[in-house]
């Protein structure tokens, strides 16, 4: 009998907390016709204060009658499900057939969570990756499992991609003691992109188009029964409004991120901020849009590194950004002053990211080569995506070790976390130093990819076992090289930016002080405290001692 062990490397930490303000994942989906090279791409930021461990699950065979144990995070047995004869190998959240899955939690109507259901969404994701070859098959696997064993989580938006299609599946429970789940899945039209961020996104959907839309039997009738939807209103049924009603809070928290994706991929459409600012009468954002130009992999990396720069919501500006323009805001995200609630903006890129990925699924290449799981840890703005081919059979050790309770240079997460945290001391300056290394590393890895894959295709024809070794060695060696380079970057930053000074090219500390714009804000608050009196001695100010 085999155990299913839920690992934080593949799952969003929002599942571990009951505070909806901590739900914090973001997904982008890019179809074949919307990507520059014909890849199907999805992304994930798994956000929360936790230390991820990258996982690898090998393929396996099982005897008839075997069962799989489902355990909670503490290792306590919750139940068992029937095992299948064969399971597929999985690297992180991509399997050997290039199927990849990500998610964001929308919570929705919390009264619909079913504590008697067996399977959380993270169980479903792992099971689907081990049992399915395509996105459609994965949807079938997950929905069949919840029908038989019950769904335990709150509302969930799940992204699925294979070599040909990208889908969004949204699911919520039936309430305590109920059966199955209420769900709908839509295929993203080819040539379009979609995204979601902690708020249900599927509105109207066709009831007679099984090629492009799948849904549970009672998804509408249950909403009517519970009073979530009133047909007599004359309004069409919208899944997102029935099961995750819009509020000013969830629009700001989730739809601002959606808007920022859409405004950047399709600037010609001039998407208004009105909806995410809860302006009355503002129309919701479309579930998918056609990008103004096809997106490269490098474009997608950039899209994941967003703090609303250049907009009215730019987090690098204002007194809240401090003197050096940091976009990071310390939690809680919602705060109270004089009895009035306020909230920081929630960007796509956040310091609370545990891990992130950008996946490539490509139908013109053999599976071991076509599927690439570009993986990184910590804040997407200061991370470095490394290619892990889905045909590998081992992982870079530094991405599999470490804990939140103890700093270690051996842990990739701690290395990246150190650089990102240290940068907050002088963000606008250190950002440039970090970008130089980030762009060099990612640029080199992207440039190497065609040559690496040409060699891999030759090995696929002649020696599949050697192909596995080749892809594994390449992926592991370059991931560890990135960590080594990032550690050197951290050591460089702590030397260059030390005690408030900035070293010049010769290593000499220079006084850089604060930007004048920020000093003016200081003086507006305390105009007299820092003013020097007139100098009656005639001694030049530059000669006065500190």
Residues 243-296: tens digit of each pLDDT: 999 999 999 999 999 999 999 999 999 999 999 999 999 999 999 999 999 999
Residue 13 in contact with residue 46, Cβ under 8 Å?
yes
Tokens describing residue 289: 């849009």
Residues 6+ apart with CB under 8 A from 194: 28, 29, 166, 168, 188, 201, 287, 288, 289
- Residue 538: inside a domain, yes or no? no
Query: Is 313 found in the same domain as 397?
Result: no
pLDDT value, residue 543: 53
Query: What pLDDT does residue 167 have?
Result: 99
- Mean of pLDDT values over 364-378: 98
The verdict on 429 and 399 lying in the same domain is yes
Rounded Cα distance, 514 and 324, in Å: 8
Rounded to 5, what percent of the chain is helix, strand, coil? 35, 20, 45
Do 402 and 281 fall within a single domain? no
- Rounded to whole angstroms, how far apart are CA atoms 25 and 48? 8
- Report DSSP state, residue 502: E
In which domain, by residue range, is 83 found? Answer: 2-343
Q: Is residue 145 part of a domain?
A: yes
pLDDT per position as a tens digit, 342-363: 999 999 999 999 999 999 999 9
Higher-confidence residue of 251 and 18: namely 251
Contact 8, 52 (CB under 8 A): yes
On whether both 394 and 458 belong to a single domain, the answer is yes
In a domain, 10, yes or no: yes
The pLDDT mean for the chain works out to 94
Do 475 and 328 share a structural domain?
Answer: no
Q: 153 and 36, same structural domain?
A: yes
Answer whether residue 544 shows pLDDT above 50: no
Residue 519 lies in a domain: no
Tell me the pLDDT tens digit for each residue of 166-221: 999 999 999 999 999 999 999 999 999 999 999 999 999 999 999 999 999 999 99
Residue 226 lies in a domain: yes
Say which residues have a Cβ less than 8 Å from residue 65's Cβ, sequence separation at least 6: none
Average pLDDT over residues 430-439: 98
Q: Are strands 372-377 and 386-389 parallel, antiparallel or unpaired?
A: antiparallel
Confidence grade of residue 534 (pLDDT, cut at 50, 70, 90):
confident
Q: Which residue has the higher pLDDT, 9 or 329?
A: 329
Q: Using the structure block, give the residue that is written with the tokens 């970008």.
A: 435
Helix (H) or strand (E) holding 498: strand 497-498
Q: Is 531 inside any structural domain? A: no
- 539 assigned to some structural domain: no
Same domain, 376 and 338: no
Q: At what angle do helices 464-496 and 427-462 cross, to 10 degrees?
A: 170
**pLDDT given at position 464:** 94
Give the mean pLDDT of 91-115.
Answer: 97
Is residue 376 one of the residues assigned to a domain?
yes
**Same domain for 11 and 119?**
yes
Contacts of 254 (CB under 8 A, 6+ apart): 106, 196, 197, 198, 199, 346
pLDDT at 36: 98
Q: Who wins on pLDDT, 469 or 24?
A: 469
DSSP state of 534: P
For residues 339 and 387, membership in a common domain is answered with no
Please name the helix (run of DSSP H) or strand (run of DSSP E) that holds residue 448, with its range, or none: helix 427-462
Question: Would the pLDDT of 531 be above 90?
Answer: yes
Phi-psi category of residue 310: left, alpha or beta, with phi > 0 → left and psi -120 to 50 → alpha? left
236 vs 524: CA distance, rounded Å: 54
The whole-model pTM stands at: 0.94
Of 312, 343, 374, which residue constitutes the final position of a domain?
A: 343
CA-wise closest residue to 157 among 299, 295, 256, 28: 28
pLDDT of residue 61: 98
pLDDT at 536: 64
Based on the structure, what is the number of domains in the chain? 2
| Confidence band, pLDDT 50/70/90 cuts, at residue 74 | confident
Total residues belonging to the chain: 546
Same structural domain for residues 6 and 146?
Answer: yes
For range 34-62, the mean pLDDT: 97
Q: Do 236 and 198 fall within a single domain?
A: yes
For the segment 132-160, the average pLDDT, to the nearest whole number, is: 98
Q: pLDDT value at position 21?
A: 36
Alpha carbon distance 369, 361 (integer Å)? 9
Q: Clarify whether residues 137 and 67 are in a common domain.
A: yes
Strand, helix or coil for residue 402: coil
């Amino acid at each position: 009998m085999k155990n299913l062990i839920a690992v934080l490397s593949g799952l969003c930490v929002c599942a571990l907390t009951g505070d909806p303000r901590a739900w914090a994942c973001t997904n982008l989906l890019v179809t074949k016709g919307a990507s520059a090279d014909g890849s199907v791409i999805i992304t994930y930021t798994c956000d929360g204060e936790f230390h991820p461990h990258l996982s690898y699950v090998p393929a396996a065979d099982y005897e008839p009658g075997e069962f799989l144990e489902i355990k909670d995070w503490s290792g306590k047995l919750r139940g068992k499900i029937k095992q299948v004869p064969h399971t597929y190998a999985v690297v992180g959240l991509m399997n050997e057939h290039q199927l990849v899955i990500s998610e964001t939690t929308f919570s929705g109507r919390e009264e619909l969570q079913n504590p008697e259901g067996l399977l959380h969404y993270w169980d479903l994701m792992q099971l689907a990756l081990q049992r399915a070859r395509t996105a459609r098959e994965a949807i079938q696997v997950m929905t069949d499992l919840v029908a038989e064993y019950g769904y335990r989580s709150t509302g969930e938006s799940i992204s699925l991609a294979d070599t040909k299609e990208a889908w969004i599946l949204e699911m919520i429970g039936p309430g305590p003691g109920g059966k199955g789940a209420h769900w709908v899945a839509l295929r993203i039209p080819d040539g379009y992109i979609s995204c979601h961020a902690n708020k249900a996104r599927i509105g109207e959907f066709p009831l007679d188009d099984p090629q492009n839309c799948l849904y549970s039997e009672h998804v509408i009738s249950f909403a009517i029964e519970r009073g979530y939807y009133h047909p007599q209103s004359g309004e069409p049924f919208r899944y997102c409004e029935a099961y995750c009603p819009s509020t000013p809070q969830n629009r700001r928290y989730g739809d601002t991120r959606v808007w920022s994706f859409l405004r950047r991929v399709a600037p010609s459409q001039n998407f208004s901020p009105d909806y995410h600012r809860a302006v009355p009468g503002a129309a919701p954002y479309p579930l998918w849009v056609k990008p103004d130009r096809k997106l490269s992999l490098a474009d997608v990396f950039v899209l994941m590194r967003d703090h609303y720069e250049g907009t009215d919501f730019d987090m690098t500006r204002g007194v809240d950004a401090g003197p050096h323009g940091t976009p990071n805001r310390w939690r809680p995200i919602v705060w109270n002053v004089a009895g009035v609630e306020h909230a920081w903006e929630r960007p796509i890129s956040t310091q609370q990211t545990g891990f992130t990925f950008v996946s490539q699924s490509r139908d013109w290449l053999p599976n071991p080569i076509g599927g690439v799981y570009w993986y990184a840890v910590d804040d997407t703005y200061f991370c470095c995506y490394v290619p892990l081919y889905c045909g590998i059979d081992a992982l870079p050790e530094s991405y599999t070790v470490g804990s939140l309770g103890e700093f270690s240079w051996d842990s990739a997460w701690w290395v990246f976390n150190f650089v990102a945290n240290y940068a907050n001391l002088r963000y606008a300056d250190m950002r440039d130093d970090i970008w130089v290394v980030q762009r060099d590393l990612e640029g080199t890895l992207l440039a190497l990819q065609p040559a690496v894959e040409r060699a891999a295709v030759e090995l696929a024809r002649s020696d599949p076992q050697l192909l596995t070794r080749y892809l594994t060695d390449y992926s592991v060696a370059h991931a560890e090289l990135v960590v080594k380079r990032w550690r050197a970057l951290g050591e460089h930053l702590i030397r260059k930016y030390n005690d408030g000074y900035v070293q010049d090219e010769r290593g000499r500390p220079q006084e850089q002080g604060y930007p004048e714009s920020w000093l003016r804000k200081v003086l507006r608050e305390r105009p007299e405290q820092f003013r020097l009196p007139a100098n009656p001695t005639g001694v030049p100010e530059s000669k006065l001692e500190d």
